[in-house]
Amino acid sequence: MKKINLIVCGAAGKMGSLIVKLALKDDEFFIKGGIEAKGHSLVGKELNEVKIYDNLENMLEKNDVVVDFTVPSATMVFLEIVKDKKGKIVIGTTGFEKEQIEKIKEIAKEIPVFLSPNMSLGVNLFFEIIKYATRILKNYEIEIKEIHHHFKKDSPSGTAKKIAEIICNERKLKIDEILKYGRRGIMGERKFEEIGIHSLRIGDIVGEHYVYFGGTGEIIEISHRCYNRESFALGALSAVKYIYKKEKGLYGMEDFIKEEVMNV
């Protein structure tokens, strides 16, 4: 069986190192190496039996799959290299600006790109539940809360933004006009279409997301709590296997669930 050549960007990070560790146990992968920033203390050394480099361009060949869990600025550089080398890429990085998302979409017209703010299968099934709940609870107000460890750099989380996007799509609302990022001062009464997003950063919590549907005299709470990062890493490796079969286009966990889980 032909193995999938895999390169992990951000290989020394929490997610990257776990992806490497799990990929080493999977016979479908051959890990060509990990990538870290120039000057990183592990460049030139091995981590979890994998050599760490600082130059993706020198390693990458056609049809190799790159997994990226870094920062947006680095991801955009990696994307250009993957495009030029005709590779494939799975992006788990979050915190992109609108212009960067548009650039990702443009590049996906030439190569396969898998982009998801959350690689967990459970979280993405959670998205489907939120979509269904929003559809049937038409007269309920909605608020979103997310909690992460104090090391997380972006806020709100990419997953919370995705939840807000799903809700706005179902209710045909303009996301930039109705989101409220926390509240302070005299803001007046809450408008029905308003959606509040509240971010907590505390301790070592891997990730928790809550969506509240408020009606007259009742609140419905739908939540997802993650206790370790393994679900994200396993989801990322599933995305690698999925994208390896694609020629070009922009894909996400919703596509993976429909094709590989639900067989739609």
- Residue numbers annotated as active site: 148, 152
Q: Please answer whether residues 70 and 53 qualify as being in contact, where contact means their C-beta atoms are separated by less than 8 angstroms.
A: no
Tokens 């993405």 found at: 124
CA distance readout (Å), 225 to 124, 222, 231: 13, 10, 11
Count CB neighbours of 5 within 10 A: 21
The phi-psi region of residue 77 (left if phi > 0; otherwise alpha if psi is between -120 and 50; otherwise beta) is alpha
* DSSP assigned state of 163: H
- Cβ distance 164 to 179 under 8 Å? yes
Q: Which amino acid is at 26?
A: D
